[in-house]
Amino acid sequence: MICIVTKWWCVDGKRNEAMAALKDLVAQVEKQEHTTLMYCLHTAEKTGSLPPPNPNELIFLGAWTNRQAFEDHRTGEIFTKWLEKHLHLFVCNDGKLYVSAEFANRFAGFVRGTAVG
């Protein structure tokens, strides 16, 4: 399994629209991409965070069966069409989505069933 932690930033004034678009993306991926094992989006929680996050920051945690499954997602029709439609909602650099990303290989731990929230 390959996991990724990324941070995305919404354009000022577009946070709610960006979050709604991301919820749609999550639904599409859950329904159609069975090699995606986890696809969770979070808002940054200011309390207890060091340094305090930007209010437009979104945190994404994802897991795929392997690196190829991630690449298939990243270059696949669902994500690329979604990105074409919604890129304007997010901070970009040279016309591309600006993100921080870190891949991780799990060596221990677990994921419980459906998380409430």
Lookup: tokens for 72: 């298939």
SS3 state at 16:
helix
Does the reported pTM lie above 0.75?
Answer: yes
Q: How far apart are the first and last CA of the chain?
A: 25
| φ, ψ at 102 (rounded to 5°) | -140, 125
* Cα–Cα distance, 117 to 115 (Å, whole number): 6
Look at residue 80 and tell me whether its pLDDT is greater than 90.
yes
* Cα–Cα distance, 9 to 33 (Å, whole number): 25
Q: Could you tell me the pLDDT band of residue 117, with boundaries at 50, 70 and 90?
A: low
Which range among 9-13, 20-24, 92-96, 110-114 shows the weakest confidence by mean pLDDT? 110-114
Tell me how crowded residue 69 is: count the other CB atoms within 10 A of its CB.
Answer: 19
CATH number of 2-104: 3.30.70.100
Look at residue 18 and tell me whether its pLDDT is greater than 90.
yes
Q: Could you tell me the pLDDT band of residue 110, with boundaries at 50, 70 and 90?
A: confident
